[in-house]
């Protein structure tokens, strides 16, 4: 699984797929929306855009329409679109789940405009499964923390486990919602 870009680069690529944007537009998105997890500093955005351009994943066009200082507006190339699709549809591993689920949520969010519903369903199912596995891997540690001296460690671990449980529940609910939208056209007999 060769990495096409950094997490920030992939986040940018997905935003550019929603609509063409300048570096400044991207900064505003990261600064003012719940995507603020990613950096909004110019020292991160502009180099990331340059790297994406060097790899041929995005292309920038100078927009001189306004009298303002010229904006450089970027859009994904075909290759960029393919890289984006590869990223969002990657199988979900336990490692993905362990290191912050933000990345996974971003993949899910961008999926809406990019792949069909079956692919989304597959993603959610594999996500739920990976979370279950991860929880099963954490639980043994709880047994080693039953002494009263270990109360802080135990509680911290419980917080983690519960947060994963909450995410697994979400994944299953989202799956139901996505699949309940319309019966899949190819298999009308399976409805309900």
Residues that bind DNA (CB under 7 A): 5-9, 22-25, 27-28, 39, 41-44, 46-49, 51, 66-73
Residues in the chain: 192
Give the residue, chosen from 5, 52, 96, 101, that forms a contact with its own copies under the rule CB under 8 A. Answer: 101
Q: Closest separation between CB of residue 105 and DNA, Å? A: 17
Of 121, 122, 124, 109, the C-alpha closest to 18 is 109
Which lies closer to its own copies via its Cβ, residue 51 or residue 172?
Answer: 172
Residue 192 as a binder of its own copies (CB under 8 A): the answer is no
Whether the Cβ atoms of residue 76 and residue 45 lie closer than 8 Å to each other: no
Tokens at 122, concatenated: 């597959």
Q: Closest separation between CB of residue 145 and DNA, Å? A: 23
Which lies closer to its own copies via its Cβ, residue 55 or residue 172?
Answer: 172
Residue 166 as a binder of its own copies (CB under 8 A): the answer is yes
Cβ-based burial of 94 (10 A; exposed 0-12, middle 13-18, buried ≥19) = middle
Whether the Cβ atoms of residue 52 and residue 75 lie closer than 8 Å to each other: no
Report the interhelical angle of 7-18 vs 42-54 (nearest 10°). Answer: 80
Which lies closer to DNA via its Cβ, residue 28 or residue 173?
Answer: 28
**DSSP code of residue 55:** T
Which lies closer to DNA via its Cβ, residue 23 or residue 80?
Answer: 23
Return the residues of window 77-96 that contact its own copies according to CB under 8 A. none
* Cα–Cα distance measured from residue 38 to residue 16, given in angstroms and rounded to the nearest whole number: 15
Q: Closest separation between CB of residue 22 and its own copies, Å? A: 21
Residue 100 as a binder of its own copies (CB under 8 A): the answer is yes
**DSSP code of residue 34:** G
Residue 31 as a binder of its own copies (CB under 8 A): the answer is no
Of 159, 36, 123, 98, the C-alpha closest to 151 is 159
Which lies closer to its own copies via its Cβ, residue 9 or residue 14?
Answer: 14
Token pair 């899910």 in the structure block, residue = 108
Binding site for its own copies (CB under 8 A): 33-34, 36-37, 98-102, 105-106, 108-113, 120, 138, 141, 149-153, 155-160, 162-163, 165-167, 169-171, 174, 177-178, 181
């Amino acid at each position: 699984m060769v990495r096409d870009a950094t997490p920030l680069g992939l986040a940018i690529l997905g935003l550019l797929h929603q609509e063409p944007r300048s570096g400044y537009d991207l900064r505003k998105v990261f600064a003012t929306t719940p995507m603020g997890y990613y950096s909004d500093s110019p020292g991160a955005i502009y180099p990331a855009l340059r790297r994406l351009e060097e790899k041929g994943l995005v292309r920038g066009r100078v927009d001189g329409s306004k009298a303002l200082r010229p904006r450089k507006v970027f859009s994904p190339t075909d290759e960029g679109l393919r890289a984006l699709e590869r990223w969002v549809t990657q199988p979900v591993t336990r490692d993905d789940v362990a290191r912050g689920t933000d990345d996974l949520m971003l993949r899910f969010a961008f999926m809406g405009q990019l792949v069909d519903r079956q692919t989304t369903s597959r993603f959610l199912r594999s996500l739920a499964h990976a979370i279950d596995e991860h929880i099963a891997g954490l639980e043994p540690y709880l047994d080693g923390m039953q002494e009263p001296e270990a109360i802080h460690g135990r509680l911290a671990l419980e917080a983690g486990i519960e947060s994963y449980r909450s995410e697994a529940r979400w994944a299953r609910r989202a799956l139901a919602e996505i699949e309940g939208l319309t019966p899949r056209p190819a298999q009308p007999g399976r409805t309900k």
